[in-house]
Structure 1
Amino acid sequence: MTDDNQQLYNLSRRKMLAGLGAVGLASAGAGLGTAAYFSDTEEFEGNSITAGTLDMSVSATVVAANEYWVNNGGLGLAEVADSQDAVVGLEVDDVKPGDWGIICFDIDIESNPGYVQVCTEEFAETGGANPEPEQEAEGDADNDADLGEFLLSTVWQDYSGPTDGSSGGMKTDLSVLDPVFNNAGNSLSVAYGEPDTGGVVDGDQHHTTAREANGILDAANGGYVIKDDQGVPLAIGAGDTYTFYLLFEIPFAVGNVIQGDTLSFDLAFKTEQVRNNDTPFQNDPAPGTPTPE
């Protein structure tokens, strides 16, 4: 090999090796850029959270009344209230001493157990018309509002008569006088007795007047939370029905003192969830808190 050829060979070989080295460095750089750590991914799919519901409905049905009211529709009440603050309004016209009616209230809770509070709202009395017989009975012409004092509003826990609103039901079909409303003490299993104008039957039984009932149920005083026999707020289970009976009656002995007087009120039922609620109806929502429909 001539010297010129040897020099060309050496030069070409050095350039080739240098070029291969550059390619090798580029490959090494590319390798650093595409390297990956070990990794893995696991997923829990389809997650969702749904708020529960609490829905109450209240039905009010006249199950019995004296013959006049049955025949003349004076207690033509058959209402179902279903809203967050369910209110049942009652209007009765032309009541006279001896008139009476029994209303059955059925409280139904759906979906979740709930506590129930009963309140009177918009309770009002007036003297109304003031005919001469009333003036003579009152001994003056002041026309006092007396109906709330003499209209008996008695709460009972059991009723054994027909529940179709016929005239076959009687006051004697009521039993288990409610102790909270009627001051019966421990004498719960008592049949209906004829009260005098003050609502007293005997030492164990007092029939609450409308004014007394309003004092217990008045919404301004917090109303009344339905309780069990131990005095603990009663949890009405989902799908369960709580029933009580309300007897309205004007005893014969009342006489002319109530002529023309009027009485009006609303009876409101409210419910709160049982879960996480140790003191029902004592924690009002903060101002501006949205109210669920």
Structure 2
Amino acid sequence: MSDNTFDISRRKVLGSIGLIGAGSAAAGAGTMAYFSDTEESTGNTVSAGTLDLELSTQANAPISVPDAKPGDTGNAVWQLNNAGSIDGGDIELDVINVVSLENGYEDPEPVDDDGDGELDDYLKVEVGIDPDYANDTDLGDGDENDVLSKANIHTVASNGPQSAEEGLSTSETKYLYVKWEFPNNGNQNDAQGDQVTFDVEVALKQN
């Protein structure tokens, strides 16, 4: 075999090797390709719900007693509704802002110098929830939840907020009641003309 023939054959072989290498590279690149598709979920929002406790007078509310005397009792009732969008998990009750006023001294009343009245020393209150109040007679049917049991008004106020351990859904109506009593404990002339003011705070909390 001549040298020229050898040279030509070598070029062909080298060319073939080059083609094979190029083909291998192309094949390797092809294995990295893949199909894909992308979609988007749009318009996502998160909105907070609401608790909106509404309190409306039902009977004898607010309490306004001008001439209470020893032995008198009374009550007042308010309707409770949740006008929000989520159910309330718990109702809390509290008696706050108790103020005792002397309002001067009547003739039988002993005079003191502290400026505070004495009616608050005798006044008792009870605060609770009635699920199905209809009238004053119904208020004593035994299904009331006396969250703040009857006691001297200062004792009740000192207890702080108390849970009713019952909620108020968006479809429910319940009733807040306040019962008061001016017990007859004998000679209570020191309370004549005195006045007591107080507030009842109602809070509705989420589940």
TM more than 0.5: yes
Aligned partner of 1:175 in structure 2 is 142
Aligned counterparts of 2:163 and 2:133: Cα–Cα separation in 1:
27
Aligned partner of 1:146 in structure 2 is 118
Aligned counterparts of 2:134 and 2:43: Cα–Cα separation in 1:
53
Residues 128, 148 of structure 2: 8 Å contact kept: no
Alignment pair present for 1:249 and 2:181: yes
Alpha-carbon deviations, 1:52-85, whole Å to 9, x = none? 12211123322xxxxxxxxxxxx5x36xxxxxxx
Alpha-carbon deviations, 1:177-220, whole Å to 9, x = none? 756533xxxxxxxxxxxxxxxxxxxxxxxx41222221223xxx
Alpha-carbon deviation of 1:100?
2.7
> 91, 109, 117: which one pairs with 1:116?
91
Say which SS state the counterpart of residue 189 (structure 2) adopts.
Answer: helix
Aligned counterparts of 1:45 and 1:161: Cα–Cα separation in 2:
49
Identity among equivalent positions (%) equals: 26
- The residue type equivalent to 1:242 in the other structure is K
**Gapped regions of structure 1 (runs ≥ 5):** 1-36, 63-74, 79-89, 164-168, 183-206, 218-222, 228-233, 275-293
Residues 155, 177 of structure 1: 8 Å contact kept: no
> 132, 142, 156: which one pairs with 1:213?
156
Say which SS state the counterpart of residue 51 (structure 1) adopts.
Answer: coil
Say which SS state the counterpart of residue 93 (structure 1) adopts.
Answer: coil
Aligned counterparts of 1:57 and 1:151: Cα–Cα separation in 2:
28
Relative to structure 1, is the Cα distance of residues 263 and 128 closer, same or farther in structure 2, using a 3 angstrom cutoff? same
Question: RMSD over aligned Cα, in angstroms?
Answer: 3.4
Relative to structure 1, is the Cα distance of residues 44 and 59 closer, same or farther in structure 2, using a 3 angstrom cutoff? same
Relative to structure 1, is the Cα distance of residues 262 and 123 closer, same or farther in structure 2, using a 3 angstrom cutoff? same
Aligned length: 171
- TM-score scaled by structure 2? 0.64
Aligned partner of 2:22 in structure 1 is none
Alpha-carbon deviation of 1:108?
2.0
Alpha-carbon deviation of 1:259?
0.6
Residues 124, 182 of structure 2: 8 Å contact kept: yes
> 259, 262, 270: which one pairs with 2:203?
270
- The residue type equivalent to 1:209 in the other structure is N
- The residue type equivalent to 2:86 in the other structure is N
- The residue type equivalent to 2:87 in the other structure is P
> 59, 74, 77: which one pairs with 1:101?
74
Residues 131, 175 of structure 2: 8 Å contact kept: no
Relative to structure 1, is the Cα distance of residues 44 and 181 closer, same or farther in structure 2, using a 3 angstrom cutoff? closer
Alpha-carbon deviations, 1:79-135, whole Å to 9, x = none? xxxxxxxxxxx5443322343322123332232122222223322112222112122
Aligned counterparts of 2:132 and 2:168: Cα–Cα separation in 1:
22
Alpha-carbon deviation of 1:141?
3.8
> 235, 260, 281: which one pairs with 2:167?
235
Alpha-carbon deviation of 1:147?
1.3
Relative to structure 1, is the Cα distance of residues 171 and 39 closer, same or farther in structure 2, using a 3 angstrom cutoff? closer
Relative to structure 1, is the Cα distance of residues 154 and 50 closer, same or farther in structure 2, using a 3 angstrom cutoff? closer
**Gapped regions of structure 2 (runs ≥ 5):** 1-33
Q: Which has the larger radius of gyration?
A: 2
Aligned counterparts of 1:108 and 1:45: Cα–Cα separation in 2:
37
